[in-house]
Amino acid sequence: MKPSKWLFLFLIPGLILYVTFFIFPTLSAIFYSVTDWDGLTPDFNFVGIDNFVNIFTNDFIFQKALGNNMKFMFFVVIFQTLFSLIFALFLVKNTRSNVLLRAIYFFPTILSSVSVAFIWSYMYDPSLGLINTLLTRFNIDFLSQNWLGDADIAIYSIAIVQVWFHTGQMLIIFVAGLQGIPRELYEAAEVEGANRWQTFRKITWPLVAPAATIVVAYTTIQSFKAFDLIFAMTRGGPNYSTEILATLIYSTAFRNFEFGYASAQSVVFMIIIAIITTLQFKMLNSNRVKY
């Protein structure tokens, strides 16, 4: 039976949304990236590639934000992937207690980023916060810090929040991957006398690698989009130590009213995300072939 020639009409609503909310804004950002538009007046001048040259040669804050983004990304990817995999290994069986624990670990994911930011800002408070209070209670107050006020550790303090926020979400992906591994492989390894580490290295990890790639890719993109969490906790401070590309673009556009320059920053941001996404998809396809 030949499909109806009118079926393509069902694509139109989705195509309209895609063009309106992705294609048009992307093209507008590219257009304004070569202008000095202030976002308020209809007049602007074309400046060519001057915005891009300035980003890579003179914009210390952009370079600082990119460095912060990379620190934040690596910390979150490493620890969020590690913790979610460890929890998944312990909670892979569908017992009542395991299902309950999965739900508990997943619960933070359903909270809003602003709510999480306010909760952890209170916990990080250097005077009344729960963390420093507990450290003092257990006589290890020498570990007390101004968690969000110290420029050396502020970005890592927020990264810890991001890991706590989304580990449960990645846990579910790993559980699904682990449950897809045939039980017969483990039984064969047990018969052959393989220990737990050998079983993990030779069976579990190779077969859960596609799920791990998805987790790493999603976590990477997530770490570049942590605008709401960082903005609500520190607004990029102190001294730009928690500024990331998303918060910097917002500040450039809506505080300094340099929409043309912010568009150029956005274009560079899109290119960085595209490169990372491409590499992640190549890894994903490679793992699928091996699988």
Tokens in use for 276? 């990372």
Confidence at residue 134, expressed as pLDDT on a 0 to 100 scale:
93
Residue 20 within a domain: no
Residue 52 within a domain: no
Query: Per-residue pLDDT tens for 44-53?
Result: 999 999 999 9
pLDDT class for 289, splitting at 50, 70, 90? Answer: very low
Query: Do the Cβ atoms of 245 and 66 come closer than 8 Å?
Result: yes
Q: Which DSSP state fits 4?
A: P
Residue 111 within a domain: yes
Confidence at residue 217, expressed as pLDDT on a 0 to 100 scale:
85
pLDDT class for 285, splitting at 50, 70, 90? Answer: low
Query: Per-residue pLDDT tens for 162-211?
Result: 999 999 999 999 999 999 999 899 889 888 888 889 999 889 988 998 89
Residue 38 within a domain: no
- The arithmetic mean of pLDDT across residues 92-102, rounded, is 94
| Portion of the chain with pLDDT greater than 70, in percent | 95
Confidence at residue 52, expressed as pLDDT on a 0 to 100 scale:
96
Tokens in use for 98? 């395991």
Beta-carbon count within 10 A of 25 CB:
12
Query: Per-residue pLDDT tens for 115-129?
Result: 999 999 999 999 889
- The arithmetic mean of pLDDT across residues 21-48, rounded, is 93
Confidence at residue 256, expressed as pLDDT on a 0 to 100 scale:
92
Confidence at residue 3, expressed as pLDDT on a 0 to 100 scale:
66
3-state secondary structure of 81: helix
Note down the domain range covering 239.
59-290
Residue 11 within a domain: no
pLDDT beyond 90 at 276 = no
pLDDT class for 290, splitting at 50, 70, 90? Answer: very low
Of 2 and 217, which is predicted with more confidence? 217
What's the CA gap between 174 and 118, in Å, rounded? 29
What's the CA gap between 261 and 253, in Å, rounded? 8
- The arithmetic mean of pLDDT across residues 250-263, rounded, is 94
| Portion of the chain with pLDDT greater than 90, in percent | 73
Residue 269 within a domain: yes
pLDDT class for 286, splitting at 50, 70, 90? Answer: low
- The arithmetic mean of pLDDT across residues 204-228, rounded, is 89
Confidence at residue 291, expressed as pLDDT on a 0 to 100 scale:
42
Q: Residue 191 burial by CB count (10 A; 0-12/13-18/19+): exposed, middle or buried? A: exposed
Confidence at residue 8, expressed as pLDDT on a 0 to 100 scale:
80
Tokens in use for 290? 């091996």
Number of independent structural domains in the chain: 1
CATH code of the domain containing 114? 1.10.3720.10
Query: Per-residue pLDDT tens for 78-91?
Result: 999 999 999 999 99
Confidence at residue 287, expressed as pLDDT on a 0 to 100 scale:
52
Confidence at residue 27, expressed as pLDDT on a 0 to 100 scale:
94
For residues 194, 195, 199 and 202, what is the CA-based torsion angle, rounded to 10 degrees? Answer: -70
Tokens in use for 119? 């909760």
Residue 83 within a domain: yes
- The arithmetic mean of pLDDT across residues 121-146, rounded, is 92
